[in-house]
Chains A and B, each alone.
Chain A
Amino acid sequence: GQQLNQSPQSMFIQEGEDVSMNCTSSSIFNTWLWYKQDPGEGPVLLIALYKAGELTSNGRLTAQFGITRKDSFLNISASIPSDVGIYFCAGQSQTSGTYKYIFGTGTRLKVLA
């Protein structure tokens, strides 16, 4: 089935460093969502993006809807240990149906104190 290309798959960083991850697709999307999943829990929404070029922040998190509508980026500034988890992007497009989302394979983040 169709999935998004999300990178990197995993990363180890030092506390205080900035983190960047991205998702790319061959399809044009009209909505991008970014989720975080803690161990043993369901994904929790971090940021939602609805327009090409849109840049939205949520605390130390900033996400952007790419101009081409085929990619999105998530940045985490000054990482802390509780940022550990798996980050997923999800995209919604006309071809996937008006309701269905396609999910990336996740970026596993580990923060070294």
Chain B
Amino acid sequence: NAGVTQTPKFQVLKTGQSMTLQCAQDMNHEYMSWYRQDPGMGLRLIHYSVGAGITDQGEVPNGYNVSRSTTEDFPLRLLSAAPSQTSVYFCASSQGLTKNIQYFGAGTRLSVL
């Protein structure tokens, strides 16, 4: 019963460094998303994917890249980290359009110094 697994749980980066946040789901869900959570802002959609090989931008995509080579994995890449990207990042997956319920991972807490 792993569900949605995110790694790492915590990360500290220096400005300009790059890294990849990993997300994997074992529920055979077609849809996967990345959100960031900032105080007082709720959850904001960064990128999403409706299936392997298909990705699209959400509300706040700048500074982030994604790819979806398999159904299970949906990594989020920060190419050149900035302090404004300090946040908590959540990955979510859902099975489809009908009764589309999103299941979330435990989050990655990222600090950019």
Contact = CB atoms under 8 A, between A and B. Distances in A.
Interface of A: 1, 3-4, 6, 31, 33, 35, 40-45, 48, 50, 88, 90, 92, 98-101, 103-106
A99 B29 CA distance: 13
Given A3-B42, A43-B90, A48 B58 contact: no
Interface of B: 4, 31, 33, 35, 40-45, 48, 50, 58-60, 90, 94, 97, 99-107
Given A42-B106, A45-B101, A88-B42, 18 more contacts: A1-B44, A1-B59, A3-B41, A31-B100, A40-B106, A42-B104, A42-B107, A43-B90, A45-B102, A99-B48, A100-B33, A100-B45, A100-B48, A101-B45, A103-B35, A103-B42, A105-B41, A106-B42
Given A42-B107, A43-B90, A101 B42 contact: no
Contacts, number: 59
A101 B102 contact: yes
A105 B99 contact: no
Nearest to B102: A101
Contacts of B59: 1
B107 A41 contact: yes
Contacts of A92: 100
A30 B107 CA distance: 27
Leading 7 A-B pairs by shortest Cβ distance: A42-B104, A1-B59, A103-B43, A103-B42, A105-B42, A43-B104, A42-B106
A35 B106 CA distance: 13
Interface centre among B31, B40, B100, B106, by most chain A C-beta atoms within 10 angstroms, is B100
Contacts of B94: 99
A17 to B, nearest CB: 25
A42 B90 contact: yes
